[in-house]
């Protein structure tokens, strides 16, 4: 019985369906301009109710950034992503202040506080180690930053991982259903032989806020900051894997804002949750100071580093494939073959005729076609 | 009435028989003759028969001669110095202790019910002369009910020529079993306003009107005694009172009984440890603090939060005192258990409103916990075995009748159970605690006594696999009491407390560290009590305490750790106070308790303090000046006069109106980023940038008792205004922050409420029902936007729960079995709820509402318990007591907190409840 009690004692935490008690429509601003010369980005969106999904882009706003040396950079909304992209390429420069101005289509205007970049700090070392975490073995990607010049004690990290995928059953034919008869439900399957694509490349960006501060550490160094943990059984390790880690140098204000946001998202300390609340960033409404606006306009110098590795570098066993590939041999053309091809995404990777009967070897698209879940284009940077 | 008539008939009969007077002439002499012997000789010589009780004659020696005197003269002579009267009736002589038998009835005797002169004090005064000269025929009026309790005692010898109308009765009240003095026991006249409380030596003194007085004693945990006293002169009478151990009938929790109506303090409660044993338990632990929370005005944020909120005050505004030294964190395991051993504790006194002037340093309340004085005659002990802990307490006589030791140890075996679990997270968790207490009391002589206490409590637990939390309270106190006379007394106290915690963090990276926090509190106090006269009782003294805290030290653990060894600078502060209180008995109806306390605080160096530009947010950028202070240099002083005034006005015998005004100042603040108090919070001293918190508290109450205090009803109301409450910005970093003031906000608070309490103290069913309506609000309205919360408007505090209802009841089936029930209902506490979500950093995030704008669902709970006493045989090894409880019978899943987490890029909502299903426990208690 005590057994039971202790289970309870440590707390009974259970998920419950999130419900809207009240909803407030708030403008969200997310923008980091960097010292890289490129089309800079401003993301504008609005809050959505807790029960809904996705993102509500703020359309048709006028966005511009002014520097204190008098330059104005205009932004135009990209129709595809909804993001606002600078009309021309530019880079944030040291000792120049930048201010973001937003006019929304409903006639409100918002201004950020002026921001400046700090000197860039290179990543000293990006490396991996086989470790075990919470009883699971995996590869941890660590960052070391020496930061010899003593600048920038606050860092934010983003990464992009790219991994090669080898299809177990790459498709060999494109197919087309012709002469389908609605009564007899018969049809002909026209196959076109294609070049097999064995290899795909998937690229995935990081999610969430990753931050490190060297202000509490000796010598102002970041040591062994864990950026990404990959389980040894993760299929992304089956072929070659690469990770690009970007290190942003943040101001104290920006660091605090991101840290609070991150904290609020992880307010789940079991018995003593932190005090949540509305976070103010550095954007405010021009007309109504009580209006809630959430977001941060940040200028930051960035540095990055990429590494590659394979699972056998660590003496690991080959991880399983993403899905269990069900290879089926179907005599056709039949109604069930048609359903599998048309609605279940199966692809034909082999065809044979035995005794005048046609046999189609089919597999799910995840096992046979790059474009269904990855990309067949090899990235420019890729090194085998 | 029937009984009364019988007595009268008997008396009439006696008068009839009085016809034949005995007029013999006697010559007799005694030389060191025992009185009994003398009486027997007289009997022999006069051929009369004496009727008496031998005990009346014990220890009396007569040396006297009589020559040719009549019997009456001889008797007058030999009984001169005794309390014995006599009555000669023919051949019989009846000796009477204290009483004169009047040969005829006073005029109006048969009408005195209508006149009521013998009980009604008012008319007694009006007819003072009559009362003085009138013989007292009251013994026969001792009602059968009262007589049932105890036989009537008579004090002094009735003297028909007495000119006094009132006499002083004094004496000692001791525990029948242990012979220890019983403190804080109230002794009062049932029908009048005379009232007194025993001091720490069990001594009492009460002025009683001549004649019959029905006295009543009251202290929780002890049997109630109704004692009818007929007083003819000043005298002493010692009571021995049995602990209410075997009888389950006793009241569960009790405000200081008659104090309810008669005392001048508002909002004071006494909980006796022994008496709460029938209340259903959580996890088998008898818990004084948990019981306190069933009383109006004392709340917690929820199960699993360690702080108590008294009358809209914050968790850091309560002063917990264990044997005169402060306890900073009197709970175990995040507040699920209290760290006060119920077996060694005598009682817990709670001051919710009128805080005596001798206490200071906290805004809202004082919890004064007193450990038992041990049994000085024989070894006794008490223990329990429950599902989580085992507890053993012993009382050991050291020098018989002079000194004794109380020792108590309680420990968990939870750790062992945790390790045997399957769940990965729980398996690596640790949760253990223990506490130990040792108290030595010594009566040096009649004038001096010394008591010393040592206490230690320790908690260790982990919630995540890579961190281990630990905290401990260490306490030592010495108290020396000296009695100059029955009217004046001095007490000197030294107390020392250390509270510390540490977090050991060991993950796989270079961030392994060990974090420590230490707080020391050392104080001395000199208190003098002086009873000037019947109207004025003075109590005054001075106290001084030194706080030294090390607010945070972090050290690297292991060679690979890159954590920089760092300490936040030590803080030091000296808090001193002078105080005086006059308990002023203005009239029979009006009693005033006028207290003043002047407290003075100095923040001391060595320290570096920053001065910030005014009108700008405090941050690294607005530092105007950095000042350095040398060791013990005064950085800044604060102080002020604290008023502690309360009064009682009797509107009738059982009805009183009380009011109080209290001002308090607090120089020490608890900082927490959590919505509830947790053991890793930091106590921060006032310094250059952080002002002390101040509160003004107005309270008023109406108190009414019914029957012989069978029922007590009270309604109390309060309004509290607080200034400079400490709060913090969202996401504040409080740990290891050298510039803590940049994260803090100071604001105003107000709290108000009405509390209703109805208690039933007698019968098979006893218990109480309490209802409170209260609000607790905070306003953080800095001059700049960054220092405002909710636009600078008042908002609900985390513990603002307007409606609070509780019922605690115990029904006794027979001497051995009783059942008890708790019912609790509270409004859900306020929370900050998400009002929308958005995508940021490719991840869903939530936007929160204004602080504490919404509430979690209401809280309710039903607990039941069954108490079975062991047999009542006199000779047995130990007295056993089994408690079977089911906590949360309805299995109500009361959410404790609601929170939102980013998981896999999406928002998930979780609610935590601590005890979400019925929890049965069995606890075996024994006592020997």
CB of B784 within 8 Å of a chain A CB? The answer is: no
Report the pLDDT value the prediction gives residue B669, as an integer from 0 to 100: 93
Record: contact A279-B463, CB cut-off 8 A: no
Confidence of residue B266 (pLDDT cuts 50, 70, 90): confident
Spatial separation of the C-alpha atoms in residues B158 and B235, rounded to whole Å: 12
Are the C-beta atoms of B545 and B328 separated by less than 8 Å? Answer: no
Q: For A193-203, how does the pLDDT look when each residue is reduced to its tens digit (9 = 90+)?
A: 888 888 999 99
Confidence of residue B386 (pLDDT cuts 50, 70, 90): confident
Spatial separation of the C-alpha atoms in residues B13 and B17, rounded to whole Å: 6
Residue spans of beta strands (DSSP E) within B263-356? 268-272, 298-299, 309-310, 318-322, 325-326, 331-332, 337-338, 345-351
Spatial separation of the C-alpha atoms in residues B34 and B58, rounded to whole Å: 8
CB of A199 within 8 Å of a chain B CB? The answer is: no
CB of B418 within 8 Å of a chain A CB? The answer is: yes
CB of A124 within 8 Å of a chain B CB? The answer is: no
Give the nearest chain A residue to B846 (CA atoms). A265
Confidence of residue B123 (pLDDT cuts 50, 70, 90): very low
Record: contact A271-B920, CB cut-off 8 A: no
State the nearest Cα–Cα gap between B747 and chain A, in angstroms. 17
- The residues, any chain, with a CB within 8 Å of residue B445's CB and separated by 6 or more, are none
Are the C-beta atoms of B716 and B701 separated by less than 8 Å? Answer: yes
Q: For B42-101, how does the pLDDT look when each residue is reduced to its tens digit (9 = 90+)?
A: 888 887 888 777 777 777 778 888 888 888 888 888 877 777 777 777 777 777 766 554
Contact residues on chain A for B334, CB-CB shorter than 8 A = 271-272
Q: For A202-249, how does the pLDDT look when each residue is reduced to its tens digit (9 = 90+)?
A: 999 998 899 988 765 556 788 889 999 999 999 999 999 999 999 999
Nearest to B670 by CA among B761, B524, B549: B549
Q: For B162-211, how does the pLDDT look when each residue is reduced to its tens digit (9 = 90+)?
A: 667 778 888 888 887 777 788 878 888 776 567 788 888 888 888 888 77
Strand partners, B282: B285
CB of B913 within 8 Å of a chain A CB? The answer is: yes
State the nearest Cα–Cα gap between A162 and chain B, in angstroms. 17
Record: contact B388-A279, CB cut-off 8 A: no
3-state secondary structure of B825: strand
Give the nearest chain A residue to B423 (CA atoms). A7
State the nearest Cα–Cα gap between A104 and chain B, in angstroms. 18
**Residue-by-residue DSSP string for B128-151:** HHHHHHS----GGGS-HHHHHHS-
Spatial separation of the C-alpha atoms in residues A166 and A240, rounded to whole Å: 10
User: With the C-alpha atoms ordered A285, A289, A290, A296, is the resulting torsion angle positive or negative?
Assistant: positive
Report the pLDDT value the prediction gives residue A215, as an integer from 0 to 100: 63
pLDDT of B385 above 80: yes
Spatial separation of the C-alpha atoms in residues B273 and B243, rounded to whole Å: 12
Average pLDDT over residues A304-324: 92
Question: Which of A11, A16, A45 has its CB closest to that of B909?
Answer: A16
Strand partners, B440: B405, B452
Quickly tell me which residue has 């940040």 as its tokens: A298
Spatial separation of the C-alpha atoms in residues B413 and B283, rounded to whole Å: 13
Confidence of residue A77 (pLDDT cuts 50, 70, 90): very high
Strand partners, B195: B188
CB of B676 within 8 Å of a chain A CB? The answer is: yes
CB of B621 within 8 Å of a chain A CB? The answer is: no
Average pLDDT over residues A279-299: 89
State the nearest Cα–Cα gap between A2 and chain B, in angstroms. 6
Record: contact B785-A289, CB cut-off 8 A: yes
Give the nearest chain A residue to B560 (CA atoms). A223
Confidence of residue A36 (pLDDT cuts 50, 70, 90): very high
State the nearest Cα–Cα gap between B902 and chain A, in angstroms. 5
Q: For B882-920, how does the pLDDT look when each residue is reduced to its tens digit (9 = 90+)?
A: 888 888 888 888 777 777 776 665 677 777 777 777 888
pLDDT of B664 above 90: yes
Angle among Cα A332, A336, A342 to the nearest 5 degrees reads 100
Distance of alpha carbon B473 from the chain centroid: 21
**Of B7-16, B131-140, B249-258, which has the strongest mean pLDDT?**
B249-258
pLDDT of A271 above 50: no
Nearest to B141 by CA among B211, B237, B94: B211
Q: What share of chain A is helix, strand, coil (3-state, %, to 5)?
A: 10, 45, 45
Average pLDDT over residues A305-327: 91
Residue A60, burial from CB neighbour count under 10 angstroms (0-12, 13-18, 19+):
exposed
Are the C-beta atoms of B581 and B595 separated by less than 8 Å? Answer: yes
Record: contact B676-A272, CB cut-off 8 A: yes
Residue B424, burial from CB neighbour count under 10 angstroms (0-12, 13-18, 19+):
exposed
Spatial separation of the C-alpha atoms in residues A60 and B661, rounded to whole Å: 62
Report the pLDDT value the prediction gives residue B875, as an integer from 0 to 100: 61
Report the pLDDT value the prediction gives residue B675, as an integer from 0 to 100: 59
| Pairing verdict, β A293-300 and B61-70 | unpaired
Confidence of residue B139 (pLDDT cuts 50, 70, 90): very low
Quickly tell me which residue has 């609610």 as its tokens: B911
Record: contact B731-A264, CB cut-off 8 A: yes
- Contacts by B13-18 with C-beta closer than 8 Å and gap 24+? B14/B89, B14/B101, B15/B103, B15/B104, B17/B89, B17/B90, B18/B89, B18/B90, B18/B103
- Scored b (16 or more CB within 10 A) or e, B371-380 reads bbbbbbeeeb
CB of A99 within 8 Å of a chain B CB? The answer is: no
Nearest to B97 by CA among B108, B82, B110, B107: B82
Phi, psi of A219 (to 5 degrees): 60, 15
Average pLDDT over residues B276-301: 81
Spatial separation of the C-alpha atoms in residues B634 and B609, rounded to whole Å: 12
pLDDT of B3 above 50: no
Confidence of residue B151 (pLDDT cuts 50, 70, 90): low
- The residues, any chain, with a CB within 8 Å of residue A301's CB and separated by 6 or more, are A34, A35, A92, A94, A117, A118, A119, A120, A121, A248, A249
**Residue-by-residue DSSP string for A330-373:** EEES-HHHHHHHHTS--EEEEEEEETTEEEEEEE-HHHH-GGGT
Report the pLDDT value the prediction gives residue B753, as an integer from 0 to 100: 95
CB of A57 within 8 Å of a chain B CB? The answer is: no
Q: For B591-627, how does the pLDDT look when each residue is reduced to its tens digit (9 = 90+)?
A: 999 999 999 999 998 999 999 888 777 876 678 888 9
Angle among Cα B594, B595, B600 to the nearest 5 degrees reads 160
Residue bearing the bigger pLDDT, B807 or B845: B807
State the nearest Cα–Cα gap between B836 and chain A, in angstroms. 5
Q: For A142-172, how does the pLDDT look when each residue is reduced to its tens digit (9 = 90+)?
A: 999 987 666 557 899 999 999 999 999 898 8
Record: contact A256-B420, CB cut-off 8 A: no
Angle among Cα B786, B791, B792 to the nearest 5 degrees reads 90
Contact residues on chain A for B463, CB-CB shorter than 8 A = 10, 269-271
Question: Which of A46, A209, A267 has its CB closest to that of B899?
Answer: A267
Nearest to A258 by CA among A218, A217, A298, A291: A298
Are the C-beta atoms of A11 and B303 separated by less than 8 Å? Answer: no
Contact residues on chain B for A18, CB-CB shorter than 8 A = 834, 900, 907-909
Q: For B10-29, how does the pLDDT look when each residue is reduced to its tens digit (9 = 90+)?
A: 333 333 333 344 567 788 88
Average pLDDT over residues B550-556: 88
Report the pLDDT value the prediction gives residue A5, as an integer from 0 to 100: 37
Residue bearing the bigger pLDDT, A163 or B706: A163
Average pLDDT over residues A36-55: 90
Half-sphere exposure of B6 (CA within 13 A, CB side): 4
Contact residues on chain B for A21, CB-CB shorter than 8 A = 833, 835, 849, 854
- The residues, any chain, with a CB within 8 Å of residue B402's CB and separated by 6 or more, are B376, B442, B443
Residues 308-367 of A with CB under 8 A from B: none
State the nearest Cα–Cα gap between A373 and chain B, in angstroms. 19
Spatial separation of the C-alpha atoms in residues A281 and A294, rounded to whole Å: 6
Record: contact A294-B847, CB cut-off 8 A: yes
3-state secondary structure of B861: strand
Q: Which two tokens stand for residue B596?
A: 């003043």
| Pairing verdict, β B318-322 and B365-371 | parallel
Lowest mean pLDDT among A134-138, A140-144, B366-370: A134-138
Spatial separation of the C-alpha atoms in residues B230 and B119, rounded to whole Å: 12
CB of B673 within 8 Å of a chain A CB? The answer is: yes
Record: contact A273-B674, CB cut-off 8 A: yes
Q: Which two tokens stand for residue B825?
A: 């209902």
Strand partners, B641: B598
User: With the C-alpha atoms ordered B891, B896, B897, B903, is the resulting torsion angle positive or negative?
Assistant: negative
State the nearest Cα–Cα gap between A286 and chain B, in angstroms. 14
Confidence of residue B708 (pLDDT cuts 50, 70, 90): confident
Record: contact A23-B431, CB cut-off 8 A: no
CB of A378 within 8 Å of a chain B CB? The answer is: no
Give the nearest chain B residue to A9 (CA atoms). B914
Interface with A, mutate which of B838, B886, B908, B918 (most A CBs under 10 A): B838
3-state secondary structure of B171: strand
3-state secondary structure of B791: helix
Distance of alpha carbon A159 from the chain centroid: 8
Spatial separation of the C-alpha atoms in residues B31 and B66, rounded to whole Å: 12
Q: Which two tokens stand for residue B463?
A: 């919630």
Average pLDDT over residues A257-264: 82
Q: How far is CA A376 from CA A163, A347, A349, in A?
A: 12, 16, 17
- The residues, any chain, with a CB within 8 Å of residue B176's CB and separated by 6 or more, are B240, B241, B242, B243
Average pLDDT over residues A186-191: 85
pLDDT of B8 above 60: no
Average pLDDT over residues A29-33: 95
CB of B559 within 8 Å of a chain A CB? The answer is: no
Nearest to B647 by CA among B580, B594, B713: B594
3-state secondary structure of B522: strand
State the nearest Cα–Cα gap between A223 and chain B, in angstroms. 6
Q: Which two tokens stand for residue B7?
A: 């007595």
Lowest mean pLDDT among A305-314, A369-378, B676-685: B676-685
Question: Which of A24, A208, A221 has its CB closest to that of B835?
Answer: A24
Confidence of residue B119 (pLDDT cuts 50, 70, 90): very low
Spatial separation of the C-alpha atoms in residues A164 and A202, rounded to whole Å: 6
Report the pLDDT value the prediction gives residue A219, as an integer from 0 to 100: 65
Spatial separation of the C-alpha atoms in residues B236 and B155, rounded to whole Å: 7
Record: contact B845-A259, CB cut-off 8 A: no
């Amino acid at each position: 019985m005590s057994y039971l009690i202790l289970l309870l004692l440590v707390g009974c935490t259970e998920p419950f369906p999130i419900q809207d008690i009240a909803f407030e429509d708030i403008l969200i601003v997310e923008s980091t301009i960097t010292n890289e010369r490129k089309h800079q980005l401003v993301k504008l969106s609005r809050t959505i109710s807790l029960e809904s999904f996705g993102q509500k882009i703020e359309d048709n706003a006028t966005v511009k950034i002014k520097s204190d040396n008098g330059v104005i950079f205009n932004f135009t909304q990209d129709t595809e992503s909804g993001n606002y992209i600078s009309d021309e390429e530019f880079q944030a420069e040291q000792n120049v202040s930048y201010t973001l101005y937003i006019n929304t289509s409903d006639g409100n205007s918002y201004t950020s506080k002026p921001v400046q970049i700090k000197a860039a700090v290179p990543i000293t070392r990006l490396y991996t180690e086989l470790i075990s975490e919470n009883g699971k073995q995996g590869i941890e990607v660590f960052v070391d930053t020496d930061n010899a010049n003593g600048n920038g004690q606050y860092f934010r990290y983003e990464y992009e991982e790219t991994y090669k995928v080898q299809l177990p059953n790459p498709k060999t034919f494109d197919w087309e259903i012709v002469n389908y008869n609605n009564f007899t439900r018969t049809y002909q399957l026209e196959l076109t032989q294609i070049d097999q694509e064995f290899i795909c490349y998937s690229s995935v960006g990081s999610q969430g806020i990753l931050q490190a501060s060297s202000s509490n550490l000796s010598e102002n160094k970041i040591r062994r900051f864990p950026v990404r943990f990959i389980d040894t059984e993760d299929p992304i390790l089956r072929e070659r894997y690469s990770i690009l880690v970007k290190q942003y140098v943040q101001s104290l204000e920006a660091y605090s804002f991101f840290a609070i946001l991150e904290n609020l998202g992880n307010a789940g300390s079991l018995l003593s949750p932190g005090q949540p609340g509305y976070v103010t960033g550095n954007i405010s409404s021009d007309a109504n100071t009580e209006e809630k606006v959430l977001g941060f306009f940040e200028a930051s110098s960035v540095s990055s580093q990429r590494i590659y590795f394979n699972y056998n570098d660590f003496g690991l066993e080959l991880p399983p494939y993403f899905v269990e590939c069900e290879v089926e041999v179907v005599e056709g053309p039949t109604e069930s073959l048609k359903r599998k091809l048309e609605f279940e995404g199966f692809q034909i990777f082999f065809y044979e005729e035995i005794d005048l009967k046609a046999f189609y070897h089919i597999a799910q698209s995840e096992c046979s076609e790059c474009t269904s879940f990855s990309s067949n284009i090899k990235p420019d940077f890729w090194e085998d | 009435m029937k009984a009364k008539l019988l007595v009268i008939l008997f008396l009439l009969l006696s008068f009839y028989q009085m016809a034949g007077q005995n007029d013999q002439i006697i010559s007799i002499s005694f030389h060191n003759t025992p009185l009994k012997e003398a009486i027997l000789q007289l009997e022999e010589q006069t051929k009369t028969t004496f009727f008496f009780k031998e005990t009346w004659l014990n220890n009396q020696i007569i040396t006297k001669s009589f020559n040719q005197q009549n019997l009456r003269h001889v008797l007058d002579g030999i009984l001169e110095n005794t309390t014995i009267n006599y009555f000669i009736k023919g051949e019989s002589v009846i000796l009477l202790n204290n009483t004169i038998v009047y040969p005829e009835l006073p005029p109006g005797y048969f009408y005195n019910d209508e006149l009521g002169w013998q009980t009604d004090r008012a008319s007694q005064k009006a007819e003072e002369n009559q009362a003085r000269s009138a013989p007292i025929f009251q013994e026969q009026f001792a009602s059968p009910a009262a007589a049932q309790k105890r036989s009537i005692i008579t004090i002094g010898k009735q003297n028909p020529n007495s000119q006094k109308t009132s006499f002083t009765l004094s004496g000692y009240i001791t525990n029948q079993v242990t012979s220890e003095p019983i403190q804080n026991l109230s002794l009062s006249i049932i029908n009048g306003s005379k009232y007194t409380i025993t001091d720490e030596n069990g001594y009492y003194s009460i002025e009683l009107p001549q004649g019959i007085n029905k006295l009543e004693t009251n202290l929780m945990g002890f049997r109630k005694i109704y004692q009818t006293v007929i007083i003819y002169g000043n005298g002493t009478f010692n009571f021995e009172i049995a602990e209410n151990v075997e009888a389950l009938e006793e009241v569960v929790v009790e405000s200081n009984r008659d104090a309810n109506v008669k005392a001048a303090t508002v909002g004071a409660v006494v909980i006796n440890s022994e008496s709460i044993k029938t209340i259903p338990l959580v996890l088998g632990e008898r818990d004084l603090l948990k019981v306190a929370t069933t009383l109006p005005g004392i709340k917690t944020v929820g199960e699993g939060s360690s702080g108590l909120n008294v009358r809209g005050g914050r968790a850091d505004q309560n002063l917990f005192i264990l044997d005169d030294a402060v306890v900073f964190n009197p709970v175990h395991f995040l507040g699920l258990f209290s760290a006060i051993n119920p077996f060694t504790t005598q009682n817990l006194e709670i001051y919710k409103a009128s805080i005596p002037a001798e206490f200071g340093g906290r805004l809202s309340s004082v919890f004064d916990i007193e450990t038992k004085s041990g049994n000085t005659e024989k070894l006794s002990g008490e223990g329990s075995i429950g599902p989580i802990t085992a507890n053993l307490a012993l009382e050991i006589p050291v020098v018989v009748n002079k000194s004794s030791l109380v020792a108590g140890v309680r420990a968990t075996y939870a750790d062992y159970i945790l390790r045997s679990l399957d769940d990965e997270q729980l398996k690596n968790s640790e949760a253990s605690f223990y506490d130990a207490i040792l108290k030595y009391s010594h009566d040096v002589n009649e004038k001096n006594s010394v008591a010393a206490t040592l206490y230690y409590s320790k908690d260790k637990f982990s919630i995540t696999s890579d961190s281990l939390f630990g905290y401990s309270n260490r306490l030592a106190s010495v108290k020396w009491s000296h009695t100059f006379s029955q009217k004046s007394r001095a007490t000197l106290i030294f107390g020392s407390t250390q509270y510390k915690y540490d977090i050991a963090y060991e993950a796989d990276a270079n961030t392994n560290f060990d974090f420590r926090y230490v707080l020391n509190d050392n104080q001395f106090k000199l208190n003098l009590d002086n009873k000037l006269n019947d109207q004025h009782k003075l109590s005054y003294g001075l106290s001084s305490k030194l706080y030294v805290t090390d607010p945070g030290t972090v050290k690297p653990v292991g060679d690979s750790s890159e954590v920089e060894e760092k300490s936040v600078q030590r803080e030091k502060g000296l808090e001193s106070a002078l105080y005086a209180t006059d308990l002023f008995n203005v009239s029979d109806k009006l009693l005033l308790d006028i207290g003043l306390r002047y407290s003075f605080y100095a923040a001391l160096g060595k320290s570096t303090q920053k001065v910030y530009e005014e009108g700008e947010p405090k941050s690294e950028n607005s530092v105007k000046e950095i000042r350095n202070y040398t060791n013990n240099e005064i950085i800044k002083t604060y102080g002020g006069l604290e008023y502690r005034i309360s009064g009682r006005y009797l509107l009738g015998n059982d009805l009183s109106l009380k009011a109080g005004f209290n001002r308090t100042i607090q120089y020490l603040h608890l900082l927490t980023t959590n919505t509830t108090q947790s053991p890793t919070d930091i106590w921060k001293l006032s310094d250059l940038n952080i002002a002390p918190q101040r509160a003004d508290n107005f309270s008023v109450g109406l108190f009414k008792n019914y029957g012989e205090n069978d029922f007590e009803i009270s309604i109390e109301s309060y309004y509290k205004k607080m200034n400079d409450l400490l709060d913090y910005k969202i996401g504040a970093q409080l740990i290891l922050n050298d510039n803590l003031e940049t994260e803090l906000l100071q604001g105003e608070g107000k709290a108000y409420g009405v509390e209703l309490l109805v208690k039933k103290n007698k019968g098979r069913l006893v218990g109480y029902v309490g209802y409170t309506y209260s609000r607790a609000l905070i306003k953080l309205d800095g001059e700049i936007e960054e220092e405002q919360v909710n636009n600078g408007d008042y908002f609900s505090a985390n513990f603002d729960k307007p409606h609070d209802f509780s019922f605690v009841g115990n029904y006794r089936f027979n001497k051995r079995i009783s059942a008890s029930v708790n019912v609790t209902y509270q409004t859900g506490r306020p929370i900050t709820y998400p009002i929308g979500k958005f995508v940021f950093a490719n991840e869903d995030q939530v936007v929160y509402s204004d602080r504490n704008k919404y509430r979690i669902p209401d809280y309710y709970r039903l607990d039941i318990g069954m108490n079975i006493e062991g047999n009542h045989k006199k000779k047995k090894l130990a007295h056993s007591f089994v408690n079977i409880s089911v906590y949360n019978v309805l299995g109500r899943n009361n959410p404790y907190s609601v929170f939102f987490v980013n998981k896999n890029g999406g928002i998930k909502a979780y609610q935590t409840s601590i005890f979400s299903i019925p929890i049965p426990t069995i606890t075996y208690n024994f006592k020997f």
